[in-house]
Amino acid sequence: MATQFGVRIRELRTKQNMLLRQLASKLDVDTSIISKVERGDRQLKKEQIPLIAEILSADKEELLMLWLADQLYNVIEGEPMADEALKSVTKKLKKEK
C-alpha cells in the first residue's frame, strides 16, 4: 500500500508532539482514520489536504504531491506493466505543456 503521504504526516505530527487524537479532532474525523492514513491503510480525501497542511504547518503543495504519488502508486502496485505505463503518461504529460 501507498504510504509516502502517511509517513510524512506521522513525521510532522510526532515532531510537534501532537497526538493522533488531537490531529483527528482538528481535522474533525475519528482518531482511527488518522491512524490508518499514517500507516497507509487509508487515503485521505483530497479536500482534507489543505486543512491538514495548515494544522501541521506544512507545505500544502508538498503534501498534495505525496498524496498524488500515493494515488498513482495504488494504480500500478503489483502491475507488471507499471513501468511502461508510467513512462507513457510522463511522455504524454510533456507533450501537453
Partner DNA sequence: CTTATATTTGCCAATATTTGTCAAGACAAT
Partner DNA sequence: ATTGTCTTGACAAATATTGGCAAATATAAG
What residues line the site for its own copies (CB under 8 A)? 4, 61, 64-66, 68-69, 71-73, 75-76, 79-86, 88-90, 92-93
User: Which listed residue (1, 19, 69, 89) binds DNA by CB under 7 A?
Assistant: 19
Cα three-residue angle 63-66-72, rounded to 5 degrees: 145
Hunting for cell 475519528 — which residue is that? Answer: 30
Cα three-residue angle 73-77-63, rounded to 5 degrees: 15
User: Which listed residue (1, 11, 32, 62) binds DNA by CB under 7 A?
Assistant: 32
d(CA 27, CA 49): 10
61 binds, among DNA, its own copies, none (CB under 5 to 8 A by kind): its own copies
Which residue, 52, 40, 30, is CA-closest to 4? 40
Binding piece for DNA, criterion CB under 7 A, among 13-21, 55-63, 78-86, 89-97: 13-21
Q: Which three cell numbers stand for residue 67?
A: 498524496
Q: Which residues bind DNA (CB under 7 A)?
A: 19-21, 28-33, 35-36, 38-39, 41-45, 48
